[in-house]
Structure 1
Amino acid sequence: MIKVDIPGRGKYEIENAVFDYNGTVAVNGDMSKNTQENLKKLSEFVNIYILTADTYGTVKKKCENLPVSVEVFPTHDAADYKEKIVKSLSGQSICFGNGYNDIKMFDIADLSVCIIEGEGCSGKLLSHSDIVVNSIDDAFGLVFNTDRIKATLRG
């Protein structure tokens, strides 16, 4: 569990980390070794879910040795699938994404982080995000050093 007490917002006890795949943990369908190591480290604290329509068809292979749950769904209605999956999780969730189809899951997440990364991000997603970062490495920095979350979101 990741615990963070944000002045003016309250206490969070995050049990789930939910990631979009392409554009978030992977760029052009490829996940870096550093990202893989960070996912392993994060799995010691929370349940990790990777949600994707798998544009490049690489998610199963890239995640086969990682302690994550992978959910693949059809490309149509991706936003609805993501929202449904996040709603089904017990406990508080932090969601990470970059695309237009992440808006619905961000709206129901306890905390949400938009990642710009190499593929960019949807401008519409920005207004649904609690925090915006430049890279997946920056996103991991938030959860491994929760004072960054506190400093960014305090009231």
Structure 2
Amino acid sequence: MLSLHIPDKESLTIEHVILDFNGTLAVDGKLIPGVASRLEELSPLVSLHVITADTNASARSELAKISCTLKIIGKNRQDQAKLEYAENLGLKSVLAIGNGRNDGMLLQHAALGVCVVQKEGAAIAAMQAADIVCNDINDALDLLLQPHRLTATMRN
């Protein structure tokens, strides 16, 4: 569990981190360097969930050695599938990280939503729905490992 202090708001108790795979943790189906070690550092603190349409059919093999739950979703209503998954965990305990249009609802309704803009870019809907935008997944994960950075970003 992570306790995150957001200035001028209640502190957040994050039990689950939900991440998109392609465009967020991976580019062209391959994990971005630095991601695996950061996820392993986070895994004793929170439950990690990767929910993806698995465009490149590589998520299972790329995540095989990482302590996380992998959920591969179908081609239809992906935004709704991601949101429903988070609702089942309890939205108030979820921090979400994604970049795609299908991540927008999840980023908007999670306790904290982080959009990453990397080589695949990011959908405007995801950026507008997020609380924070980072230009690198490793920077986004470091917000959780170094929470004072998050506090500084969210200060009013």
TM-score normalised according to structure 1 size? 0.96
> Corresponding residue for 1:142?
143
> Corresponding residue for 1:82?
82
The 1-side partners of 2:130 and 2:112 are apart by 8
For 1:43, the aligned partner's letter is S
The 1-side partners of 2:75 and 2:114 are apart by 22
> Corresponding residue for 1:59?
59
* 1:121 aligned onto 2:106: no
Q: For 1:18-97, what aligned pairs fall within 5 Å after superposition?
A: 18-90=18-90, 92-97=93-98
Q: How many residues align?
A: 155
For 2:132, the aligned partner's letter is I
Identity of aligned residues (%): 29
- Tell me the CA shift for residue 154 of structure 1: 2.0
* 1:33-62 C-alpha deviation (Å, 9 max, x unpaired): 421111111101100000001000001111
> Corresponding residue for 1:101?
102
Q: 1:111, 1:130 within 8 Å by CA — same for their partners in 2?
A: yes
The 2-side partners of 1:33 and 1:116 are apart by 16
The 2-side partners of 1:152 and 1:9 are apart by 13
For 2:110, the aligned partner's letter is A
Structure 1 unpaired stretches of 5+: none
* 1:42-100 C-alpha deviation (Å, 9 max, x unpaired): 10110000000100000111111110000001121110110010000046110000000
Instruction: List structure 1 runs of 4+ shifted beyond 4 angstroms.
Output: none
Q: 1:9, 1:154 within 8 Å by CA — same for their partners in 2?
A: no
Q: 1:114, 1:133 within 8 Å by CA — same for their partners in 2?
A: yes
* 1:132-151 C-alpha deviation (Å, 9 max, x unpaired): 00001110111111111111
- Where 1:125 maps in the other structure, the secondary structure is helix
The 2-side partners of 1:98 and 1:32 are apart by 14
The 1-side partners of 2:111 and 2:22 are apart by 22
